[in-house]
Amino acid sequence: MGYNQATAYGAERALFKFDVAGLPVGSRVVAAHLALYLARAEPSTDAPMTITVNRLQGAWSETITWNQQASLIRNPDHAAVTTVGTQPGWYQWDMAALLQSWIDDGARARQR
C-alpha cells in the first residue's frame, strides 16, 4: 500500500485479507502464523522496526488508497507484533490469538 509521502518514514502500511468464514463455530486455534519475506531494507542502515498486525473494522477493496485506509478503524485487541530487522529473511507473526478473536467475533455475530 505504500507509505506516507508527507513524512517519508514511520507510517508504512500493507493490507492483507484473510477469509475465516469457512471455519466452524466453536473452532479453537492451536497455531497460526503469518510469515513474510524481507527482500531488501531501504536504506540498508535503517533501524529495525516493530511491525504490528491489527484487525480492521469495516470493508475495503483491492483498490484502496492511502487516504482511504486512514479512515479504517484498527482493533488493537489481540494484535500480533514482531520486530523486523534490516537483514533479508523470513519474519513471522504469531497470529493464533488474533485469529481466535476473529472466529469468536464471527460466532457471536451469527448468534444474533
CA distances from residue 74 to 28, 70, 78, 79 in whole angstroms, order as listed: 23, 10, 11, 10
Q: How many other C-beta atoms are found inside a 10 Å radius of the C-beta of residue 35?
A: 9
What's the whole-model pTM score?
Answer: 0.74
Write out the chain's pLDDT in tens, 112 residues: 455 556 555 567 778 877 777 888 788 999 999 999 998 887 777 778 888 888 877 777 777 777 777 777 777 777 889 998 888 999 999 999 988 888 887 655 555 5
Res 1: pLDDT? 42
Q: Which residue type, as a one-letter code, is found at position 88?
A: P
Cell of 106: 464471527
